[in-house]
Amino acid sequence: MKKYIIICSTIALALFSCQPKDVDVNTLFKSQADVQAILDAEPEGYILYDQDHGGLNQFVADYMTEEGDYQPVRTRSTYGKFQMFSIDSIPVGGKGIYIMGRVTTDDWGGNFYKALVIQQMVGSTQHALRLSVDAGNASGLYAKGQLLLIRVNGLAIGKYANQPQLCVPTFNNNTQAQHAEEKVGWAPGRIPAAQFAKATTLVGQPQPGQLFYENLFIRDFIDILDCEQAREWDGKLVRIGNIHFTNQYANANGTLAPCTNGDPTTDGNANVFGPTTGNVGYPQGRVISDGQLNTIVSTSEYAKYAHMYLPDAEYVGTVEGILGFYEDNGRYAPTWKTWSISLRDLSDLRLVNAQGKVWEPTEYHK
Amino acid sequence: MRKILYTICALLLPLSIMAQTSLRGRVVAESDATPVVGAKITLGNQDIATTTNQNGEFNLVYLDPINEEVIVEQNGYLTKVVLFALMADQSNDMGTIELKVDMQQEMRDEVTLQLSEMDLNDDEGKSQSTSSGSNASNDVFNSNTGYAWSTVRYRARGLEQQNELTYINGINFNGMERGNFNYSMIGGLNDASRNKDEVNAIESNAFTFGALGKSTNILMDASRYAQGWKAGLSLANRNYKGRVYLTYASGLLDNGWAFAGSVAWRYSPYIDIKGIIGEGINYNSGGYFFSAEKQFNRNHRLSIITFGSPTMRGQSAAVTQEVYNLTGSINYNPYWGYQNGKVRNSRVVKAFDPAIILSYEWKINEEQSFKVGLGYHYSLYSNSALTFYNAPDPRPDYYRNLPSFLWDGQLDQNGNFITKDGAGRNIGTDVFWDPYADAVYTDKNGNQYDGRWIGSSVDKDAYQRLTNAWTSRDNATTQINWDDIYAANYAYDINNQSDPLRSSKYMLERRHNDIMESAANINYQNTEFQNLKITAGFEAKESQGIHYKTIDDLLGGTQWYDVDPFAERDIKELATNIGLTQADIEHVKRNDIAITNELDRVKKKGDKFGYDYTINMTKVAVWAQNEWNWNAVDFYYALKLTYSSMNRTTRMLNGRAWYLAQLQPDEDYYYLGMQYKQIRQGQYAASYQGWEHQFFDPSFKIGATYKINGRNRIKLNAMAETAAPLARDAYISPRVHDRAIQTIYTHDRANNLRDFYAASQRTVGYDLTYEFNFPIVRGRITAFQQHFWNGSELNGYYDDEARTFVNQSITGINRVHRGLEAAAAFKLGTYFTLTPMLAIADYHYTSNAYAVTTAENGMALAESSKGAMYTLNDSVLIKGLKVATGPQLNASLKLSFFHPKMWFADITISYFDWNYLDYAPARRMQGLFTGVRADGTAVNGSLASSDISNIALNKTEDGSWATDKYGTPVVNYPYNILTDQEILVSRNVWNRFIIDASVGKLIYLKNRQSLSINLSASNITNNTHMKTGGYQQSRLPRLTKQGQPDNVNSVISSNVWKFPAKYYYAWGVNFFLNITYKF
């Protein structure tokens, strides 16, 4: 009997479980062959909007309409035939519909919130699309330079202030918003994180070096006011050279005015990147100029660098960031449209003065 | 020493009278004739008792020569009653008394022990606890309810574990910091812990002063164990699936030595079958016990005992009703996911609490004994948890990952979906026109209509897809996605290889809560005086609660940068408060500002990080008890005096503590401890000593037993005491700073008696018991009432308005516990016993409490007319609320069968009711309902003090609100939250019943060997609607009106159930098979 007990105990000890091994990095990031296997597994075939099939712009063109198929939308954002807010559903069934793109954003700096932008090169043309994802710090999962394959069936494509984006429909009932009654209606909403994760495949390891920066002058985009054309430019990763900050802000009507030396916690016009908005939550615009034309660097008041002083005008150099086109008040200000550059963080600014001194950010202090 | 003892006795001096009638005998196990050590022998008609020695022998003296009913009881054996006529002035000999083994005891002990071990299951601020497994056979109520009601985590008289004391060989093992006994230290060692003395609630006590609840002394001297080998095998479908154990005891050898030892192992592999008990958890627990005893002669014996139970086990979590509904299972566990195809649980407990005890007993003479005990144990307890930094929350049941989040505002208070609006329209699927809304809608053609569109916040397809993912138990949706976590860490490293301060996005941290305790105990007993027994004791304990975090697994990442992510978002608040820059904020975020080289903040696997502090606790108590015994009346009284102290030592100087000291320089000592001046001056050290808090608490108890006759008696007991707060409730934010709760602050600076006891809980308890013991029925009925005044608690939670972690110290908690306990065992013929049992009680709060709320990172939580408010003081409206401590109505009927050929069986049907949801103080603040806090400040910071009186409080059937000077609701909070407390029992009466059954057989083999087989099944009807407990989430959703500053016009969302309660459910049908072989 004793012998039997000893044998049993020995066998039992051998059954002790052990911790799972680390996940092999090669299994996490799919190869092109894996991507093909995913596509080939679609029972009814697939459509992949890659560079050979029109890219992201073609995807938007195929599924996004002016009015959308969800009604009503907010009345404040309608102008003639143009709907600045709309949603079009993407079929759930049928062929698998896929888009691909490389993430250009990073929310570490706090200037992007629950939003990603992907980039795809079609020939030498950059296509871009915003992705609205309900995940704080989404860059933690979808890093800058990461190539994504997204199965978009069952999601939606819509316009939010004329910015096309992959989304899900939501109905805005927020009674606390300013002009709340005019904002009631369907609007592009954030894709639930779990749903987005399920739809998304990480293709290869992140390669930020593969990102394409479109070198522009302000004149290349600032006069584009046609909505349909502007939408194709929205979201592009751009680099603009020879710019400097003018120490001005753009007010609600787009008029430029000098910044103040006020306290950014109370003064929305202070000479920092992102002073308070009094809890309205819009991004703050600070003017940059290439000597001929102006545009705006757009910063959230929640960005880590929001209270950094604006660079003096003597510092000149390049700015990189996400180009944005914004137009939401079609009912009362149909001609008011805004172009802006959103920085990922302050490393997107490379400025030097005439003496060769590199601009270093300094922070507001009471 | 002897002189001292006699001096103590002299204070309580009696008279003595000699007597001659005595009784002796020997108790053995029927199965193998081995002596039964420690069996209790009670003379029912004289109420005199003793216990058997190492040879199973007993001897009672000074007896009345009457016909006596001798009751022989021992844990693990069936109680035996023998009628015996005592002859006057003789030494009466009962000969050998044989006891039958109670096979079900093994099973009952193991099941209740399992539940007790799970008490420390979570660190979310709430955990379920159960009464220690009380299956001792000397009380009909305790012996039956301990197991039968363990399903619903029954707590006797609603008492917390600090009111139940557990000793091992006379050494107190209740941890000083939490007040509880750590059952995992004896996990699986049922044989080793079976011998015990139990004293029910407030009664006279031979080994300690006692408490309001039960006191248990587990006796582990080697000579107490039956000689021989015992091996066992258990199978179950509970948290562990199998158990093996082996026990050996030498008995008392001729040379005076006795040895006993036991080893045990319990195991469950990771379970990946969804929806079954133990889903996603593993269990791997060993256990050892060794005891050696030397009896030098009749008067001196020495024991050394050591035991421990290294355990590693996965955990499961309470979740919301929505999640239970979606997954269709009460066994859903969000803590696990697949990694490399294997189940991996994110919450793994590692516990090992090795203990050593040295006991010396000196029997001075037949009437006096002196016991000394020394004990030491080092409890290593840690659990792992996922943490993340600048990455999405990985928890699958995070509220934003659930379908209800898409339907923002569509949960009722029970966490169920509201599917129809008041007009019967489908919410979530329909968008509809409300023509009565006070609005004008203009369509895209410019046409205007009165009314507005309203509808769900998301379209039905999106909602349905997410719902389907949950109901189908899609792995990526309902479980932790380990692959995503590894990918995030790999990707981050790829992008940031050149950054020496980079930090993984995710990692598993291990939260250590170790305890190192040394204890000493002296017990002196004197029975040399006729009718009087004197017991006196001294207890001393030194304890250190050691708390720190280590990196358990970087999950593919390479390093972790040690700052507090919660401090990240407060740039605005901190900048506003004292003009901190982002650079300052980076300083505040640091968990140890004494580190000057940033690279030293980079942590690798196994490194300490986050916090590292110790709570040092000391307790010294002396007590004495006199028991007077006469023919008709027994009477006792006892007094205890307790000194205790605590202080906190930290080895990391937290940036938030530094910040608070900057913010409130007049009270910087409050946060930084005794070295505050040096710290303010930048003089850092290896550790920082906190302030010492000292308490002095008296306890007194008194009781009497009136023996109506030999079969009926009435007992009356009462106790009053004050008790210092537990260390776990004493510090507002012990991970960050040294600040104690407000009442301790008052106590520390007391210059009068009232303030000196400002922090101590005051308790008065009393009970009245009627006991009866007839040949066909025995049992008791007890009525009890206990008053608690000035209790304190500490809660921590994420505050939606402040968007940071806050701590809430609740003081002035007053409550009353009263009720009735009753049980009786009726013998129905030769084979059957019917045992009804009942506990009906009312535990409720008798007044409102007081809450002090502060942000862990020190930010201001509100604005007032006087400026930023760093501390919110408010009343917690809990008067009349039920105390959530399990069902307050428990009733069972048990039918037991016993056949002399050693067949056992029983079936128990139980009914449970009046079980209430635990409240969250944050949901019951006065300010929520009136707009004005108890300290006179307005909830809406925009109000000038002159406006406060103008707030109009409206109460309607469905709401209560006040408006500010702008006409904006200050609060938007349903008034019925205050009046309705969710009851956890099912509306269907049949779902309040649980049926348990067991069957067993004992087989005697040759050579005194035996084999026992026992199968028990609990909840055999698989009732999956039995909630055993639950708690409200503290977090309340807020809306801030656009264009207004924070804390101004911030109102609670009408969707107050956005963060609904979380629940625990009783297991469905489960079994336990136990096979024991004695040889």
* pLDDT tens-digit series, residues B254-281: 999 999 999 999 999 888 888 888 899 8
CB B229 within 8 A of CB B246: yes
Shortest CB distance from B487 goes to which of A154, A184, A202?
A: A202
Looking at residue B107, what is its pLDDT? 65
Which of B282, B443, B459 to mutate to probe the A interface, most A CBs <10 Å?
A: B459
- Which residues on A lie below 8 Å from B452 (Cβ)? 181, 184
Residue of B nearest to A2 (CA): B231
Q: Does the residue A128 lie in any domain?
A: yes
The residue count of chain B comes to 1079
Shortest CB distance from A279 goes to which of B442, B555, B1040?
A: B1040
Between residues A202 and B17, which one has the greater pLDDT? Answer: A202
Shortest CB distance from B1042 goes to which of A8, A134, A176?
A: A176
CATH number of the domain where residue A305 is located: 2.40.50
- Any alpha helices (H) in B118-172, and if so which ranges? 140-148
Looking at residue B1040, what is its pLDDT? 55
Helix (H, G, I), strand (E, B) or coil at A331: coil
**Domain match, A182 and A228 both:** no
Question: How does residue B958 score in pLDDT terms, banded at 50, 70 and 90?
Answer: very low
CB B427 within 8 A of CB B419: yes
Shortest CB distance from B1039 goes to which of A5, A176, A192?
A: A176
Tokens of A65: 């309409």
Chain A stretch 284-343, residues whose beta carbon is closer than 8 A to a beta carbon of chain B: 301-302, 304-308
**Domain match, A201 and A225 both:** no
CB A214 within 8 A of CB A239: yes
Q: Which helix (H) or strand (E) holds B1022?
A: none
**Domain match, A162 and A245 both:** no
CB B293 within 8 A of CB B302: yes
Between residues B818 and B1048, which one has the greater pLDDT? Answer: B818
Looking at residue A15, what is its pLDDT? 43
- The C-alpha atoms of residue A225 and residue A325 are separated, in whole angstroms, by 9
- The C-alpha atoms of residue A266 and residue A277 are separated, in whole angstroms, by 8
- The C-alpha atoms of residue B568 and residue B761 are separated, in whole angstroms, by 38
Given A152, A175, A210, the domain boundary residue is A210
Residue of B nearest to A114 (CA): B392
Between residues B620 and B68, which one has the greater pLDDT? Answer: B620
Looking at residue B969, what is its pLDDT? 52
Interchain pair A265, B575: CB under 8 A: yes
Looking at residue A143, what is its pLDDT? 93
* Total domains, chain A: 2
CB B825 within 8 A of CB B817: no
Looking at residue B14, what is its pLDDT? 40
Given A210, A229, A252, the domain boundary residue is A210
- Which residues on A lie below 8 Å from B406 (Cβ)? 192
The range of the structural domain enclosing residue A112 comes to: 25-210
Looking at residue B576, what is its pLDDT? 54
Between residues B415 and B983, which one has the greater pLDDT? Answer: B983
**Those residues with Cβ within 8 angstroms of residue A111's Cβ, 6 or more apart along the chain or in another chain:** A283, A298, A299, A300, A303, A342, A343, A344, A345
Which of B494, B503, B576 to mutate to probe the A interface, most A CBs <10 Å?
A: B494
Question: How does residue B100 score in pLDDT terms, banded at 50, 70 and 90?
Answer: confident
Residue of A nearest to B404 (CA): A192
Chain B stretch 433-462, residues whose beta carbon is closer than 8 A to a beta carbon of chain A: 439-444, 452-459, 461-462
CB B978 within 8 A of CB B955: no
Interchain pair B572, A146: CB under 8 A: no
Question: How does residue A337 score in pLDDT terms, banded at 50, 70 and 90?
Answer: confident
Closest-CA residue to B861 (of B909, B821, B801, B920):
B801
With 70 as the cut, is the pLDDT of residue B1041 above it? Answer: no
Question: How does residue B87 score in pLDDT terms, banded at 50, 70 and 90?
Answer: confident
Instruction: Break chain B into its structural domains and give their ranges.
Output: 22-99, 399-478, 774-1079
CB pairs A-B closer than 8 Å: 217
Looking at residue B955, what is its pLDDT? 47
Between residues B693 and B671, which one has the greater pLDDT? Answer: B693
ipTM for the predicted complex? 0.87
With 90 as the cut, is the pLDDT of residue A158 above it? Answer: yes
Shortest CB distance from B477 goes to which of A21, A198, A305?
A: A198
Between residues B377 and B901, which one has the greater pLDDT? Answer: B377
Tokens of B514: 């170790």
Shortest CB distance from A181 goes to which of B229, B267, B439?
A: B439
Q: Does the residue A11 lie in any domain?
A: no
Query: With helix as H, strand as E and coil as C, how does B645-665 read?
Result: EEEEEECCCCHHHHHHHHHCH
With 90 as the cut, is the pLDDT of residue B974 above it? Answer: no
Candidate from A94-98, B68-72, B397-401, B842-846 with smallest mean pLDDT: B68-72
Helix B655-663 and helix B571-578, axial crossing angle in degrees, nearest 10: 30
Tokens of A49: 């909007």
**Domain match, A265 and A300 both:** yes
- Which residues on A lie below 8 Å from B269 (Cβ)? 15, 17
With 50 as the cut, is the pLDDT of residue B1047 above it? Answer: no
**Domain match, A284 and A168 both:** no
Residues B928-959 as b/e (b if ≥16 CB within 10 A, e otherwise) read bbbbbbbbebbbbbbbeeeebeebeeeeeeeb
**Would you call A65 an interface residue with chain B, using a CB distance cutoff of 8 Å?**
no
Q: Give Cα B121 to chain centroid, integer Å.
A: 9
- Which residues on B lie below 8 Å from A281 (Cβ)? 1042
Chain B stretch 214-253, residues whose beta carbon is closer than 8 A to a beta carbon of chain A: 229, 231, 242, 244, 246
- The C-alpha atoms of residue B333 and residue B322 are separated, in whole angstroms, by 13
**Domain match, A206 and A124 both:** yes
With 80 as the cut, is the pLDDT of residue A86 above it? Answer: yes
Tell me the average pLDDT of chain A: 87
**Closest CA–CA distance from residue B1034 to any residue of chain A (Å):** 22
Given A163, A182, A210, the domain boundary residue is A210
Looking at residue B129, what is its pLDDT? 47
State mean pLDDT over A295-311: 91
Helix (H, G, I), strand (E, B) or coil at B421: coil
Cis peptide leading into B565, omega within 30 of 0?
Answer: no
- The C-alpha atoms of residue B111 and residue B141 are separated, in whole angstroms, by 18
- Which residues on A lie below 8 Å from B392 (Cβ)? 135-138, 140-141, 193
Looking at residue B459, what is its pLDDT? 66
Instruction: Specify the CATH number for B22-99; select among 3.30.450.30, 3.40.50.800, 1.10.150.120, 2.60.40.1120.
Output: 2.60.40.1120
Tokens of B570: 């407060």
Q: Cα dist. B519→B242, B306, B458 in Å? A: 35, 14, 61
Question: How does residue B47 score in pLDDT terms, banded at 50, 70 and 90?
Answer: low
Q: Cα dist. B165→B175, B212, B322, B762 in Å? A: 10, 9, 38, 18
Candidate from A185-194, A246-255, B609-618 with smallest mean pLDDT: A246-255
Shortest CB distance from A137 goes to which of B390, B458, B494?
A: B390
Looking at residue B134, what is its pLDDT? 45
- Which residues on B lie below 8 Å from A141 (Cβ)? 391-392, 484, 487-488, 505
DSSP string for residues in B25-65: EEEEETTT--B-TT-EEEETTTTEEEE--TTSEEEE-S---
Q: Give Cα B208 to chain centroid, integer Å.
A: 22
CB B487 within 8 A of CB A28: yes
Q: Which residue has the tokens 């996965």?
A: B314
**Domain match, A44 and A184 both:** yes
With 70 as the cut, is the pLDDT of residue B108 above it? Answer: no
Chain A stretch 247-276, residues whose beta carbon is closer than 8 A to a beta carbon of chain B: 265, 276
CB B770 within 8 A of CB B1007: no
Looking at residue B711, what is its pLDDT? 81
Share of chain B above pLDDT 90, in %: 43
- The C-alpha atoms of residue B1025 and residue B166 are separated, in whole angstroms, by 33
Residue of A nearest to B396 (CA): A194
**Domain match, A47 and A191 both:** yes
With 70 as the cut, is the pLDDT of residue B866 above it? Answer: no
**Domain match, A63 and A116 both:** yes
**Domain match, A120 and A202 both:** yes
**Domain match, A200 and A52 both:** yes
Chain B stretch 490-549, residues whose beta carbon is closer than 8 A to a beta carbon of chain A: 490-492, 494-495, 505-506
Looking at residue B407, what is its pLDDT? 64
Question: Could you read off the pLDDT of B118-173 as tens digits, one per residue?
Answer: 544 444 444 444 444 444 456 889 888 888 898 888 889 999 888 999 999 999 99
Looking at residue A132, what is its pLDDT? 95
Question: Could you read off the pLDDT of B927-942 as tens digits, one per residue?
Answer: 777 777 888 777 765 4
Residue of A nearest to B555 (CA): A22
Question: How does residue B112 score in pLDDT terms, banded at 50, 70 and 90?
Answer: low
Query: With helix as H, strand as E and coil as C, how does B296-315 read?
Result: CCCCEEEEEEEEECCEEEEC
Interchain pair B441, A72: CB under 8 A: yes
Q: Does the residue A18 lie in any domain?
A: no
Helix (H, G, I), strand (E, B) or coil at B809: strand
**Which of the given ranges, B566-570, B621-625, B711-715, has the highest pLDDT on average?**
B621-625
**Domain match, A150 and A276 both:** no
Share of chain B above pLDDT 70, in %: 82
**Type of residue at A44:** E
Interchain pair A280, B1042: CB under 8 A: yes
Tokens of A243: 């710019």
Pairing mode of beta strands B871-876, B954-955 = unpaired
**Would you call A11 an interface residue with chain B, using a CB distance cutoff of 8 Å?**
no
Query: With helix as H, strand as E and coil as C, how does B694-720 read?
Result: EEEEEEEEEEEEEECCCCEEEEEEEEE
Q: B111-117 contacts: CB < 8 A, separation 24 or more?
A: B111/B147, B111/B150, B111/B238, B111/B1016, B111/B1018, B111/B1072, B112/B146, B112/B147, B112/B150, B113/B183, B113/B186, B113/B187, B113/B190, B114/B238, B114/B239, B114/B240, B115/B150, B115/B153, B116/B183, B117/B183, B117/B184, B117/B187, B117/B311
Please state, as a whole number, how many other Cβ atoms lie within 10 Å of the Cβ of residue B471. Answer: 14
